[in-house]
Amino acid sequence: MADPNLQNKLQRVEDLWFPDADLILRAENSPFRVHSSILGARSSVFRDMVAFPQPTNAEGDIIDGVPVVRLHDSALETEIFGVDSSSKFFHAPSISRDFSAVIGVMRLAHKYDVQYLFRRALCDLEATYPMEFSRSQAMLRDEEEEPHLVLPAGLVTDLIALHAATVIHEFLQNIPNGTGPCSSPRDCAEAVLEAWEFLLIRTKQGCRDADPLQEWIFAETENDLCVVCSVAGQAEYSSAQLFFWLDMPEIFKLPSWEDLDELRRQVMEDAA
């Protein structure tokens, strides 16, 4: 039965409210008034949805004589998805866009079969989180880029981040001994102690600060190693980071990087 007080309960989204449109989508308490023909042209799921007879006033919700279709999605994701569909969000890939917003767009684009938008979101995601280890490291070293975390927030548990960050910094245990003719053992020992303390502080601040793919730790501390220890340490550090990168898909129970790259290629080729 239609609710006579429905309009008072809802807060319409002005950017996605077109007065001459013939369909209202409602996500939570946010209604969007859109053109069913445009919606159907972009999404096979919506095309099938609007093909069914819409509810009458006695059968379902009606606003200003326009039928309301309920979506079981969050209002925020639906709003971003709707803005994206009108090409206002993904003008060009950007590392400054919110990760969760892009993932929300991809989820809804997949759910409602809006393939072009899924591909655009995928390209945007890759601009921030590249699949190639060398590109991810280059972005960390690029002073012109805004600092960002290579691992998306929320995907790494405290335990994984702490364990990985500790393993990757195990090379510190071999400095200043065992890495060759150290030119300043006392200074290197002090630098290593400072690095361990710095790593411990970061770990206590939360898993995001214990990112195992962070840059060379001595770039962020006051004391540095001698040339011999620095060269040997960086070689071990880079090798450990590469092994962690190669293991990431398995850690998150995903296909291998090769399989993921093949899936990406197939998605992109479907647009051709």
Q: What is the pTM of this model?
A: 0.67
* Domain identity same for 82 and 155: no
Whole-Å CA distances, 169 to 34, 147, 155, 210, 236: 54, 21, 21, 11, 9
CATH number at residue 47: 3.30.710
Coil, strand or helix: which one is 63?
Answer: strand
* Domain identity same for 152 and 219: yes
Q: Region of 226 please: left (phi>0), alpha (psi -120 to 50) or beta.
A: beta
Strands 66-71 and 62-63: antiparallel
Task: Find, among 20, 34, 24, the residue nearest to 2 by Cα.
Answer: 24
* Domain identity same for 70 and 143: no
Kindly state whether residue 98 falls inside one of the protein's structural domains: no
Residue 95: predicted pLDDT: 46
Kindly state whether residue 110 falls inside one of the protein's structural domains: no
* Domain identity same for 144 and 248: yes
Residue 181 DSSP one-character state: -
- Range(s) of the domain holding residue 188: 133-259
Would you say the C-alpha torsion 162, 167, 172, 177 has a positive or negative sign?
positive
* Domain identity same for 47 and 147: no
Residue 148: predicted pLDDT: 45
Kindly state whether residue 108 falls inside one of the protein's structural domains: no
* Domain identity same for 65 and 140: no
* Domain identity same for 160 and 240: yes
Contacts of 225 (CB under 8 A, 6+ apart): 175, 176, 188, 191, 192, 218, 233
Kindly state whether residue 267 falls inside one of the protein's structural domains: no
Residue 259: predicted pLDDT: 93
* Domain identity same for 58 and 150: no
Task: Report the distance separating Cα 106 and Cα 114, nearest Å.
Answer: 9
Written as tens digits, the pLDDT of the chain (272 aa) is 455 555 667 888 888 888 888 888 888 888 988 888 888 888 888 888 877 766 555 545 788 888 888 888 888 888 877 766 555 444 444 444 567 778 888 888 889 888 888 888 888 778 777 888 888 777 766 645 544 444 554 455 666 767 777 888 888 988 887 667 888 999 999 999 999 888 887 766 655 556 787 778 888 888 889 999 999 999 999 999 999 889 888 887 889 999 989 988 888 876 55
* Domain identity same for 79 and 195: no
Task: Find, among 77, 19, 23, the residue nearest to 47 by Cα.
Answer: 23
* Domain identity same for 138 and 253: yes
Contacts of 50 (CB under 8 A, 6+ apart): 23, 36, 39, 40
* Domain identity same for 167 and 235: yes
Coil, strand or helix: which one is 105?
Answer: helix
